[in-house]
Amino acid sequence: MTSDQDLPMDGQSATAVFAARGIDVTLNKDQGVIKVVKRQGIDGDRPMIGDKVTVHYTGKLLTGKKFDCSRDRKESFCFNVGKGQVLKAWDIGVLSMHRGEVCTLLCKPEYAYGSAGNPDKIPPNSSVLFEIELLKFEGEMLTGDGGIIRRIKVKGDGYTNPNDGATVDVHLEGNCAGRLFDCRDVTFTVSEADDKGIPLGVDRAMDKMQRGECCLLYLKPKYAFGSEGKTEFKIGPDKDVVYEVTLKDFKRAKESWEMDVHEKLALAAEVKHKGNQCFKAERYQQAVIQYQRIIMWLEMECGNGIEQLKRIQDFVIKAHLNLALCFLRMKEFSQVVENCNKVSNKTLTIFPVKSI
């Protein structure tokens, strides 16, 4: 292994030494990032794109001069790998590591600080060295309660994502305790995946995905099949499941600002009916999604004339009341209070309404 004491003084000879003792981890094999393992990690998974990783690191010039060190600050460093939050060399190098591994990366300028360098620390066009220890990594939490965790196997293309109401074409593979229970190509509408027997967690993840992306979704029961389980798939109550999802293609729906008030009112009627059906079937999470769509479309609408305004108010108030009922069943009492307060705080005069 290469030590700080035997480092060469120029980039060309450093590359030769590292190439002889390490491995080129760049996709193009251009020797832009060469890794030498100093301590083997634990066999098993490596980080995936988007994972939150925690590392210790030391950065040095080829002269051996240290310019940065997390241990000197007595705190580790966290970032989402593969998302462009750090140097390109770090994204590439850390994705190649195992938990507990310690390695040294030789990074060419185009993978590090480039032609600009870093004022007062790193001269322009400098190759640099990083010793990195991968302490831990975990998937990206898509919900605050950790009920949906995503790990990206294959990064998608483009800069757009499916939106609410988008039509998506996906390939699904569902596993529970190592058993494959679902494997199919399916087309569904975002926010209406329940119609196709697809769990809430998959539905909720769609607006984070890009065309061509393949990811693993780790779903807690709340976002999978709940306390009822799924007899069709022979899944018992309160089971964690894992879905591998590939987004093959999608067509975005109109955004709220692209629809006129007549379109919104027509959609609100459809969605309210769907929400009521979910509520009656005790699928409260799915009902919540439908009622929230009504509020998203209509809460800021004024309409044309008093009659249309009354219809809008009627939909919005009933949606909030129905949300309060759903959250009451789900024992999420702060949300019950919040939705009831939104009803009572309305300043416009409305006719008495009842929920459902």
- The three state secondary structure string of the chain is CCCHHHCCCCHHHHHHHHHHHCEECCCCCCCCEEEEEEECCCCCCCCCECCEEEEEEEEEECCCCEEEECCCCCCCEEEECCCCCCCHHHHHHHHCCCCCCEEEEEECHHHCCCCCCECCCECCCCCEEEEEEEEEEECEECCCCCCEEEEEEECCECCCCCCCCCEEEEEEEEEECCEEEEEEEEEEECCCHHHHCCCHHHHHHHHHCCECCEEEEEECHHHCCCCCCEHHHCECCCCCEEEEEEEEEEECCCCHHHCCHHHHHHHHHHHHHHHHHHHHCCCHHHHHHHHHHHHHHHCCCCCCCHHHHHHHHHHHHHHHHHHHHHHHHCCCHHHHHHHHHHHHCCCCCCCCCCCC
Q: What per-residue confidence (pLDDT) applies to 354?
A: 52
Same domain, 124 and 154: no
- What's the CATH code of the domain at 200? 3.10.50.40
Same domain, 8 and 122: yes
- The count of domains in the chain is 3
Show the low-confidence residues of the chain (pLDDT under 70).
1-12, 346-356
Q: Is residue 355 included in any domain, yes or no?
A: no
Q: Which domain holds residue 146?
A: 141-251
Last residue of a domain, one of 76, 109, 138: 138
Last residue of a domain, one of 211, 227, 251: 251
Same domain, 47 and 134: yes
Give pLDDT tens digits for 218-264.
999 999 999 999 999 999 999 999 999 999 999 999 998 999 999 99
- What's the CATH code of the domain at 282? 1.25.40.10
Same domain, 96 and 194: no
Q: What per-residue confidence (pLDDT) applies to 10?
A: 58
Q: What per-residue confidence (pLDDT) applies to 351?
A: 45
pTM recorded for the entire structure = 0.79
Same domain, 76 and 99: yes
Q: Is residue 354 included in any domain, yes or no?
A: no
Last residue of a domain, one of 224, 251, 278: 251
Q: What per-residue confidence (pLDDT) applies to 11?
A: 60
Same domain, 122 and 8: yes
Q: What per-residue confidence (pLDDT) applies to 355?
A: 60
Same domain, 179 and 261: no
Q: What per-residue confidence (pLDDT) applies to 106?
A: 96
